[in-house]
Structure 1
Amino acid sequence: MLLPAGALAVAAVARWRGWPAPLLLVLAGLAASLITSRFSGAPEYRLDPEVVLLVFLPPLLYSAALDSSYQRLRAVRRPVGLLSVGLVLFTAAAVALVAHAMIPGLPLAAAFALGAIVAPPDAVAAVAVARRLGLPRKVITILVGESLFNDATALTAYRVAVAATVGVVVTPLGAAGEFIYAAGCGVVIGLALAYLTGRLFGILRDPLITNALGLLVPFVAYLGAEAVHASGVIAVVVMGLVLGHRMDRTTYGARLVSHSVWKMLDFVLEIVVFLLIGLQLPLILQGLSGRNPWHVAGYAAAVFAVVVLTRLVWTFPSTYLPGMLFRKIREREERPPVKYAVVVGWAGMRGVVSLAAAFALPADFPAREMVLFLTFVVVIGTLLVQGLSFPMLIRKLGVTSEQEVYKDNLTEAAAQQAAASAALARLEELTSEGVLETQSDVVERLRVQAERRAMGAWERLGGGVGPEGEETPSTLYRRLRREMLDAEREVLVRMRDERRIDDEVLRRVTRELDYEEATLARD
């Protein structure tokens, strides 16, 4: 109980003061580990790789995928692919060559395992830091998309490297085939489970049952994929993206509960994860007794520098070379500002997945303690050095989302206007059926409310039965208003599918409709 309670206390202070909670939690963990290491009998919080990979990772990946935009990810699939596959392999190779050359007794295969461990930026860190800083949507989409998919590349490379280290013969063709199999099967499993889960979500009407099922499905996807040696990461991410895209097909109650449940779960899991990272310091230092501290410090500085520099070296060519080489890309896409490339290049915070992979190395792995220490230095270094300097860099470059916020408000107002027009048209259809002649006051109230909703968006831019068996005015009002809300949702979803509004705008407007529908419901 001490760990979650302490994490919650630190996170509460961070939110109260407006500080970045992930970074403060890491510092608190480091401080706590240094203090408790001086007292015998103090509790030891050892990071269990099985717990991280099977308990923490699936729900965090699933939640991030649910909250991502399938359409936006499609629009940036090339940079996301270059970062999540190309950069991971480039970083792993560069770290392997440097570590193998510097560290005595470290085989090349073991050095490549180290490179695969420290190569992928963390999904939790990317989401937690990028969104808090108000980065432009395209930059956030690239960072989040990269962090969602790069674990699959890194973990596959990690398995191949570990196998080669312990004596299993691995060929480049065999490694490529393993990656293709893991990724392809992960996609298939994710799509299949998304289809089945989506059908169930459409049938279930109880928000609690729907969301209880939603809490289980990321674990089912991850464990199911891993059982057939496919990528559990890709299965979870693909399923989350598809279900997030089709969330409008569930009930309003399920959407409202889902939003709250995942927001709370993300908060709890994230604060525990970041505090756990800092608490690993004494355990890692124990394995380095007897080594020359200056040599160890030199190895750590070199590996950290390689991790940071390879990302910067890769980002600029991968951002601008495709447009220079291919005319269709130049004609179809705008040239990204240089400051966007700088932000993406500096946003390489590593996290708990890297540590979990290092702790999962076999006990007889060559230089295991050194690999564990170097991984810890890279994780802590990127979180603190890049994480703490990230806000200053963004302010210095002037990278903001102010124009997108204005555009979102404008498109939201237009969408509200279109949705209100559809609702009024539906109301006119219902009144033309002749069943509302005696309730003209209800019809007028509905008409005024629909018009007020549309006007409110522009302003922001600057079950009862009567004694005779008839519907009471309040019952009639709720029934007709629900019909109108359904009409509004249909228009909003169609506008999203036609790419006239963004997924984020759809979610924001739909949540308002869901709240209103919740006020119409009776127990």
Structure 2
Amino acid sequence: MAFFESMLTLLLVAIVFLQFSRKFRIPYPTMLAIAGIIVAAVPWAPNVAIDPQLALALLIAPVLFDAAYDLPPRTLKRNWLPLVSLAGIAVILTAAAVAAVGVTIAGLPLAAAIALGAIVAPPDAAAATAMLDRFDLPRQTYVILKGESLLNDAVALLIFSAAVAAVANPAFFTGVLAELTLAVPGGIILGYLLGRLYMVVGLKLAGTLGGTLLEFVATFGTWVIAERLHLSAILAIVAYAMVIARYMPERQTARHRIHSYSVWEAAVFLLNVLAFLLMGLQVRQIVLDLEPGRLNFAIILATAVFVTVIAVRLAWVLLYNRVVTVLAARGSTRQAAPSFATSLIAGWCGMRGLVTLATALALPIDFPDRDIILLSALAVVLGTLVVQGLTLGPLIRFLNFDPDTSLDRDLTRTRIALIDAALAELHGLDKSTRILRDVYTSEREIAADGKHPREVSKLDKQRRRVIVAKRRKLAAMRRSDEIDDDVFHILEQELDWAELAVLPPGRDEIVES
């Protein structure tokens, strides 16, 4: 009960803090980090532990699914060089540098030091995109930073799994490496097959509460099955999500998609809250149990790790900028050279978050120096979220990027194509379609001017006005007991969908804060 009360307290504090996040343009994970520490610091906070394997399945599987769903393979192919640079090389370099710090300063065993490096290596996409969504950045930079989130998680988690296995199994280089060699392709194949199976079963339950529950059961089930078969659960989730993202949306109804997306956003946000609370509670107990000398030693290590993760990412991204610029000038690569400003932003978007917290919690209880590793992980999360999270917005404003209108142009072109398709469908029909043809012709003219038709369409404005009047009448009939609640809710839902159909894009969106 004490844990549940702490969870409710954190949710309440998070809700209050998120209002500051929205008003002052602060990434919401930064506010969650502060809220988690506040709740964990209260005298009555409970001592809570979570099973390490459960931590990975519960906290990582949905996040990986969410990231993989938004990253189609063609994006990977088109931006392979910067993505490999950020998600592969940067993560490996960071893990190696932190491991060196752990061995040199703390005398950690090599495998434990590598595990620490893998824990703090991957930046958190939610922290970055929560801020980047509020600014006009070059479209390519935004796409790459979002795409990085999936790959760096996968790379870091694979390194982490290998390091933990090396601690548990002295014969690592014979048995475990052979097992990982089979686990990687096996996980991809399993994820693909389970994704295809979900499409068959999921479509039959689409639009139902059971279908919503199945989304979570199938995602967690994919992770569990992969673990039981000793395959890579990480790559299984990635392959599973990519299959669904590729084939499922066009087979879903609008209602199912909207409902599914909103539920997943809420679930991932709740997992962020849970991760910050669990980490805060565990670190609180570690701090209370540590002797003063070892606590000071842990603080020194945490500070060194924090500086290392920032310095390595920034140095590598700026070095990559120079190398690609030289190669592009010589014609040795087709990849466009990033500007110094975009590279600086990419290097500074290194906030750590949920993946780092969850991976740290997944350390076995008897893992060597687990206490100081957890403290270092939390220090990196708090430090990057506060230092980088609070300065990213001012840095973007200082660099003053030129507006990127490529997305608006693509939207305008696509809208015109869709309206042309609608007009072609109506061509040659009887005179009763004339009014509808006039509406589409008017919308085409509006779209050609670079505006969205529903923003200026008089017909849609009238429809919204009529819906407001219907809502008032429906509420009055309910208050006067002319209708029962079941009738009210059915008609209320119909009005909701009718209103959604005539609202301009961006209105009434579900947002993080």
Q: TM-score range by the shorter chain?
A: 0.7 to 0.9
* Equivalent residue number for residue 288 of structure 1: 290
Taking the aligned partners of 2:170 and 2:38, their CA distance within structure 1 comes to: 41
By how many angstroms is 1:91 displaced? 1.6
Distance 1:372 1:267, change over 3 A: closer
Question: Do the aligned partners of 2:276 and 2:357 also contact (CA within 8 Å) in 1?
Answer: no
* Equivalent residue number for residue 78 of structure 1: 81
Distance 1:200 1:87, change over 3 A: same
* Equivalent residue number for residue 214 of structure 1: 215
One-letter code aligned to 1:26: A
Q: Does residue 446 of structure 1 match 2:436?
A: yes
Taking the aligned partners of 2:438 and 2:85, their CA distance within structure 1 comes to: 51
* Equivalent residue number for residue 383 of structure 2: 381
Question: Do the aligned partners of 1:46 and 1:283 also contact (CA within 8 Å) in 2?
Answer: no
Question: Do the aligned partners of 1:210 and 1:254 also contact (CA within 8 Å) in 2?
Answer: no
By how many angstroms is 1:454 displaced? 2.6
2:345 to 343, 346, 356: 343
One-letter code aligned to 1:22: P
Taking the aligned partners of 1:125 and 1:279, their CA distance within structure 2 comes to: 22
Question: Do the aligned partners of 2:283 and 2:374 also contact (CA within 8 Å) in 1?
Answer: no
* Equivalent residue number for residue 407 of structure 1: 406
By how many angstroms is 1:127 displaced? 3.9
- When structure 1 is superposed on structure 2, of 94-103 and 265-274 the one drifting more is 265-274
- When structure 1 is superposed on structure 2, of 410-419 and 15-24 the one drifting more is 15-24
Distance 1:191 1:447, change over 3 A: same
One-letter code aligned to 1:369: D
Question: Do the aligned partners of 1:80 and 1:142 also contact (CA within 8 Å) in 2?
Answer: yes
Unaligned segments of structure 1, at least 5 residues: 463-511, 519-523
Q: Secondary structure at the match of 1:266?
A: helix
1:262 to 254, 264, 267: 264
Taking the aligned partners of 2:32 and 2:59, their CA distance within structure 1 comes to: 17
By how many angstroms is 1:62 displaced? 1.7
Distance 1:52 1:204, change over 3 A: same
Q: Secondary structure at the match of 1:386?
A: helix
Q: Does residue 67 of structure 1 match 2:57?
A: no
Matches within 5 A, 1:25-174: 25-34=32-41, 36=42, 39=43, 41-46=44-49, 48-104=51-107, 106-166=108-168, 168-171=170-173
Q: Secondary structure at the match of 1:332?
A: coil
* Equivalent residue number for residue 354 of structure 1: 356
Distance 1:280 1:388, change over 3 A: farther
Q: Secondary structure at the match of 2:91?
A: helix
* Equivalent residue number for residue 471 of structure 1: none
One-letter code aligned to 2:422: A
By how many angstroms is 1:337 displaced? 0.8
Q: Deviations over 1:269-324 (max 9, x none)?
A: 33343444444431231342242554333222222212211112222333443564
Taking the aligned partners of 2:115 and 2:74, their CA distance within structure 1 comes to: 34
Question: Do the aligned partners of 1:256 and 1:514 also contact (CA within 8 Å) in 2?
Answer: no
By how many angstroms is 1:383 displaced? 1.8
Q: Secondary structure at the match of 2:338?
A: coil
One-letter code aligned to 1:415: T
Q: Deviations over 1:235-278 (max 9, x none)?
A: 22233233223312322332232233223333333334344444
Taking the aligned partners of 1:185 and 1:517, their CA distance within structure 2 comes to: 47
One-letter code aligned to 1:236: I
By how many angstroms is 1:336 displaced? 0.8
Distance 1:12 1:354, change over 3 A: closer
Q: Deviations over 1:17-60 (max 9, x none)?
A: 424322112112212222x1xx3x54345455444322232223
One-letter code aligned to 2:5: L
Q: Normalising by structure 1, what TM-score?
A: 0.76
* Equivalent residue number for residue 246 of structure 2: 245
Distance 1:271 1:158, change over 3 A: closer
Distance 1:186 1:304, change over 3 A: same
One-letter code aligned to 1:425: A
Taking the aligned partners of 2:14 and 2:312, their CA distance within structure 1 comes to: 32
Q: Deviations over 1:57-111 (max 9, x none)?
A: 222322233334443333222222232232222222211222212224x222222
Unaligned segments of structure 2, at least 5 residues: 453-496, 504-513
* Equivalent residue number for residue 503 of structure 1: none
Distance 1:42 1:86, change over 3 A: closer
Question: Do the aligned partners of 1:358 and 1:375 also contact (CA within 8 Å) in 2?
Answer: yes
Question: Do the aligned partners of 2:275 and 2:358 also contact (CA within 8 Å) in 1?
Answer: no
* Equivalent residue number for residue 313 of structure 1: 315
* Equivalent residue number for residue 226 of structure 1: 227
Q: Deviations over 1:416-472 (max 9, x none)?
A: 22111111211225x2xxxx5xxx33x12321232243334345539xxxxxxxxxx
Question: Do the aligned partners of 1:100 and 1:107 also contact (CA within 8 Å) in 2?
Answer: yes
Taking the aligned partners of 1:513 and 1:118, their CA distance within structure 2 comes to: 47
Distance 1:117 1:3, change over 3 A: same
Taking the aligned partners of 2:416 and 2:260, their CA distance within structure 1 comes to: 27
Q: Secondary structure at the match of 2:133?
A: helix
* Equivalent residue number for residue 13 of structure 2: 10
Question: Do the aligned partners of 1:207 and 1:251 also contact (CA within 8 Å) in 2?
Answer: no
Taking the aligned partners of 2:502 and 2:190, their CA distance within structure 1 comes to: 35
Q: Secondary structure at the match of 1:215?
A: helix
By how many angstroms is 1:205 displaced? 5.6
Taking the aligned partners of 1:102 and 1:206, their CA distance within structure 2 comes to: 56
Taking the aligned partners of 2:366 and 2:11, their CA distance within structure 1 comes to: 37
One-letter code aligned to 1:457: A
By how many angstroms is 1:326 displaced? 7.6
By how many angstroms is 1:338 displaced? 1.1
* Equivalent residue number for residue 417 of structure 2: 418
By how many angstroms is 1:340 displaced? 1.4
Taking the aligned partners of 1:320 and 1:514, their CA distance within structure 2 comes to: 51
* Equivalent residue number for residue 465 of structure 2: none
Runs ≥4 residues deviating over 6 A: 173-176, 326-329
Distance 1:233 1:363, change over 3 A: closer
Distance 1:207 1:425, change over 3 A: farther
* Equivalent residue number for residue 30 of structure 2: 23
Taking the aligned partners of 2:59 and 2:87, their CA distance within structure 1 comes to: 21
C-alpha RMSD over aligned residues:
3.3
Q: Secondary structure at the match of 1:139?
A: helix
Q: Secondary structure at the match of 1:291?
A: helix
Taking the aligned partners of 1:3 and 1:451, their CA distance within structure 2 comes to: 57
Question: Do the aligned partners of 1:60 and 1:124 also contact (CA within 8 Å) in 2?
Answer: no
Taking the aligned partners of 1:328 and 1:241, their CA distance within structure 2 comes to: 36
Question: Do the aligned partners of 2:409 and 2:450 also contact (CA within 8 Å) in 1?
Answer: no
Question: Do the aligned partners of 1:412 and 1:457 also contact (CA within 8 Å) in 2?
Answer: no
* Equivalent residue number for residue 498 of structure 1: none
Q: Does residue 455 of structure 1 match 2:462?
A: no
- When structure 1 is superposed on structure 2, of 111-120 and 129-138 the one drifting more is 129-138
- When structure 1 is superposed on structure 2, of 325-334 and 287-296 the one drifting more is 325-334
One-letter code aligned to 1:461: K
Question: Do the aligned partners of 1:347 and 1:386 also contact (CA within 8 Å) in 2?
Answer: yes
Taking the aligned partners of 1:207 and 1:197, their CA distance within structure 2 comes to: 15
Taking the aligned partners of 2:175 and 2:139, their CA distance within structure 1 comes to: 38
Distance 1:285 1:89, change over 3 A: same
* Equivalent residue number for residue 428 of structure 1: 427
